[in-house]
Amino acid sequence: MKMVVGLGNPGSEYSDTRHNVGFMAIDELARRWGISSWKKRNQALVAEYRAEEPVVLIKPQTYMNLSGIAVGELVRWYKVLPEDVIVIFDDMDVPLGRLRLRTKGGSGGHRGIESLLTHLTSGSFARVRIGIDRPPTNWQVVDYVLSRFTPEEQPLLNESIARAAEAGECIVKQGMAKAMNLYNK
């Protein structure tokens, strides 16, 4: 079984913000796979997809900084190894419209990833980082990540969400090495 987790904040006030690109990518995967039924389990929205190997889509309903609580509980509930978890999230150090895939690593200062590293038994989960760019001069990081994309940024955002969903699907079906070769360009 694979688990694909999108990081974000719950609630409509955050739905289209930079910090919620992980949720957007999960929603795109659900759309592609014809999933419309979500259930609440262990502080998260969960949808199951049956392919050659079962896949669980996860949108934690804790706030970003506590994502590891929900994900840790679900990893134990489904008995999934950290190596079978794929996490999709925003990254300010990646340019808008770009993706960066990694098999492991630190948090890079991302509090959602810090929480996952605290609540999982291993940091060797796959990461799909969606670029959101750095904040403009004089912007606070928290204000930037909770801001919405501008109309000019929307085409690049749409492209990166579609590519992140493709990358997640590629990891599930063909493995991380193949996905890294295709999407780390």
Catalytic residues, by residue number, are 19
Tell me the C-alpha distance between 103 and 123, whole Å: 9
Angle at 93 between CA 10 and CA 181, to 5 degrees: 95
| Tokens coding 66 | 């506590």
Phi–psi pair at 116, nearest 5 degrees: -65, -45
Nearest to 175 by CA among 87, 110, 86, 109: 86
| Tokens coding 151 | 């109309």
Q: Report how far apart the first and last C-alpha atoms of the chain are (Å, whole number).
A: 28
Place of tokens 């079962």: 54
